[in-house]
Structure 1
Amino acid sequence: MLTPQPHHSMIVIIIGPDVMIKSLKTLPKVDRLTAFFDAFELEISLEPPSISDSHTRLFVIGKPGGPAERIVLHPRGDTPPEPSALITAAVDFEGAHNPLMNALPDRIVVDVSDIPTLRDTTAAFMAEALESRCGRSAALNRLCEVIVLLILRSAIDRGATGPGLLAGLSHPALHRALVAMHDTPAQAWNSNDLATVAGMSRSHFMALFRDVVGTTPQAYLTGWRLILARRKLAGGAKVKAVARQVGFGSAAAFSRAFFRKFGDWPSVRS
């Protein structure tokens, strides 16, 4: 897991024409992606470009025999082959349940030369993909995870044109409230707490969150809790324990919310 590093911001207060007070305020950097990589598993398989299904598609684009030039990601699959694809991979990042993957645009293109880490990781990915060596599958999964992380980071940096999770994660203030919910879903978050995390008044936070993310903070938090709960139940956890772990006051309240979202009652088979 990535460890947040301190981020320093200088606050300057001018009292008069000749008097200035400087204060150094230390704020932790907020990690907007680790919660998703902790919550959802990523696996890949290399395949001929003609195969099509609902899996995310990752294309490594370049000239034959040359280095990678671009990475193209189709989050929702069912897409025609990309021209000049050196490698095509099906990526399973639990897209049906992963809200971040669902929030992405239909096609993302990143020039590898723009991100040195992506260039080097893609070169290692290609080397593993084109050779059959021991540990190949494990290496491909880990390298692809880094590639997808860097693409998602780039997508967050670019922002979004419409409301949704990507727009919220791209927002300079709202993303702090979203990360707080992602990282500690069991905490009894209320609107005042989340507004404080975002550094806003409650009224401004509530209006802006709805405009940017497209829903209310409490509705988003409930949805995130239920997504995590479903994964825990699928792993064999008990309903009562899961309800407590994701922040519901009782198993009954959790079960009702689960039914409203998924249309069936929670069980270890969910």
Structure 2
Amino acid sequence: MIENTKADRKYDRLTAFLRAYDLRVEVLAAGQMSADAQLFIARDPETGSARRVVLSMQGGTADADGIAAEVIFGGAVNPLLAALPERLVVDLEAGTAMRAIVDLFVAEACSPSCGGATVRSRLGEVIVVLAIRRAIDRGVGAGLLAGLAHPTLHRSLVAMHDDPGRAWTVAELAALAEMSRGHFIARFRDVVGQTPTAYLTAWRLTLGRQALLSDASVKTVAFRSGFGSAAAFSRAFSRQFGYAPKTVRENALEPRPA
């Protein structure tokens, strides 16, 4: 019997984004209940126990009873954040791993101890990943998130995310999704909102931008991203971001999503 077929294999739909963008969570002090907080743990006002997780990259998650935190995850250029619903709410169920992690997060936030800032930050990062994972598993959201939730399209998306420099053909991507070429193009466009080729180009440019911020040269980034030349990469980059690759650092000081 042949094992590890496409139908059986588990495709990691989040790791590529965690590699591309640094995820950081900074818990706000009790007196800093910022309206711009992106992560909020709502608590029962009587027992103090956590009731739900609210994630909104638009900000405005905080209210009086709970713990608020800022989430930094690549800003406006991270396509995963743009695909999230405006307000993602996860009700906490007893006995789940997420409930246990949130309870520990709340305990650390309410009773600070040695190394507490680091512990809270790491637990907050796990909570964000679990919330996004829940959204994907339940098919919440549209665009990229809907594509990642799709039973077969997600395979082609993961392939592009994991190996962006490969000279992917539409036929290869369609085969991963177990669709004909024409059906794949139409379905991908309907679900994700772009053609497969346009999405792959945008993803390559987004990763290229991150590499440029790490001091890689335009020529190196162009090669790694699957472009034929530095000139081709530069033209595509300028069209997508509105500025030349050589000015990426000056243009990287963007405001956080609001």
After TM superposition, the score normalised by the length of structure 2 is: 0.88
Decide whether aligned partners of structure 1 residues 34 and 80 sit closer, same or farther in structure 2, where only a CA change above 3 A counts: closer
How far is the alpha carbon of 1:80 from its aligned partner?
5.9
**Structure 2 residues without counterparts, runs of 5 or longer:** 252-258
How far is the alpha carbon of 1:263 from its aligned partner?
1.1
How far is the alpha carbon of 1:67 from its aligned partner?
1.9
Work out the CA distance in 2 between the residues paired with 1:90 and 1:161.
21
Match of 1:138 among 118, 125, 132: 118
Work out the CA distance in 2 between the residues paired with 1:252 and 1:93.
29
Work out the CA distance in 2 between the residues paired with 1:120 and 1:226.
38
Aligned twin of 1:6: none
Match of 1:52 among 35, 46, 52: 35
C-alpha distance after superposition, 1:179-238 (max 9, x if no partner): 000011011111011001111111110110011111100100111111111111111111
More strand by share: 1
* More displaced 10-residue stretch of structure 1: 199-208 or 242-251: 242-251
Task: In structure 1, give the amino acid aligned to 2:57.
Answer: P
How far is the alpha carbon of 1:120 from its aligned partner?
1.0
* More displaced 10-residue stretch of structure 1: 110-119 or 25-34: 110-119
**Structure 1 residues without counterparts, runs of 5 or longer:** 1-22
How far is the alpha carbon of 1:133 from its aligned partner?
2.3
Paired residues of 2:27 and 2:121 also in contact (CA < 8 A): no
User: What is the number of equivalent residue pairs in this alignment?
Assistant: 243
Aligned twin of 1:153: 133
Task: In structure 2, give the amino acid aligned to 1:52.
Answer: A
Would you say 1:31 and 2:12 are equivalent positions? Answer: yes
More helix by share: 2
How far is the alpha carbon of 1:34 from its aligned partner?
0.9
Work out the CA distance in 2 between the residues paired with 1:115 and 1:33.
24
Work out the CA distance in 1 between the residues paired with 2:141 and 2:61.
25
Work out the CA distance in 1 between the residues paired with 2:18 and 2:146.
19
Greater gyration radius: 1
How far is the alpha carbon of 1:24 from its aligned partner?
5.3
3-state SS of 2:4 partner:
strand
Decide whether aligned partners of structure 1 residues 249 and 196 sit closer, same or farther in structure 2, where only a CA change above 3 A counts: same
Cα RMSD after superposing both structures: 1.9
Would you say 1:218 and 2:197 are equivalent positions? Answer: yes
Paired residues of 1:50 and 1:80 also in contact (CA < 8 A): no
What is the percent sequence identity of the aligned residues? Answer: 51
Aligned twin of 1:10: none
Match of 2:72 among 92, 113, 130: 92
Paired residues of 1:39 and 1:228 also in contact (CA < 8 A): yes
